[in-house]
Amino acid sequence: MRAFLIALALLFIPDIAHARREVRLQYPLSRVWTSAVRLMRVDMRCNVTEKDRKDGYMLFDYPQDGRMHASSLEVFEVTEDGRKHVKVILQVQGMPNYVELMLLDKLERKLKTDFGLPKQERADPRPAAPAKEDAKEDQKPQKAKVESADENAKK
């Protein structure tokens, strides 16, 4: 019974962040960096204690309930499968995992609001052209329909 109560309590205690959270973004590195600095310094009113754009990291204090939580944010460009993207890694010490996820979500929304969708997410307004074989097959039934309509008009 005691083990059951401990297991049940662990389910309802917020998971404290021991690992860092990350997100991959299709925006240019310079846009992600400036948006991340503005988000933490201006929007979230965090005290930025150290930052280095060249090395792509920022240390800041995340305020919550009158306490400051040491936090870090890394921003760097990576190439995977021949595609370039920006990886953002965030860690907030002593806070539940959802805080990191919330901050990364705010960064993504800020980028979309300020700069629109990244190039890969933009939908092409033009419909895809059919393959050559499909185009030939599509033309045959149309000609048949036109011929039958002409024949009906003659009758």
Within a domain: 127: no
Q: For residue 147, report the phi and psi dihedrals to the nearest 5 degrees.
A: -60, -45
Phi-psi region of 116 (alpha: psi -120 to 50; beta: other; left: phi over 0): left
Is 5 part of any domain?
no
**Domain encompassing residue 22:** 16-119
Q: Is residue 40 part of a domain?
A: yes
Q: Is residue 99 part of a domain?
A: yes
Render pLDDT for 117-148 as a digit per residue (tens, 0 to 9): 987 655 555 555 555 555 455 555 555 455 55
Q: What is the pLDDT of residue 118?
A: 85
Q: Tell whether the model's pLDDT for residue 70 goes beyond 80.
A: yes
How far is residue 15's CA from residue 97's CA, in Å, rounded to a whole number? 6
Spatial separation of the C-alpha atoms in residues 5 and 2, rounded to whole Å:
5
Residue 23 has pLDDT above 60, yes or no: yes
Separation of alpha carbons 26 and 121, rounded Å: 9
Confidence of residue 101 (pLDDT cuts 50, 70, 90): very high
* pLDDT of res. 16: 46
DSSP three-state, residue 27: coil
* 31, part of any domain: yes
Residue 64 domain-assigned? yes
Q: How confident is the model at residue 85 (pLDDT cuts 50, 70, 90)?
A: very high
Provide the number of structural domains found in the chain.
1
Which pTM does this prediction carry? Answer: 0.65
Residue 67 lies in a domain: yes
Rounded Cα distance between 76 and 85, Å, is 9
In three-state secondary structure terms, 81 is coil
105 in a structural domain: yes
CATH label of the domain that carries residue 113: 3.30.530.20
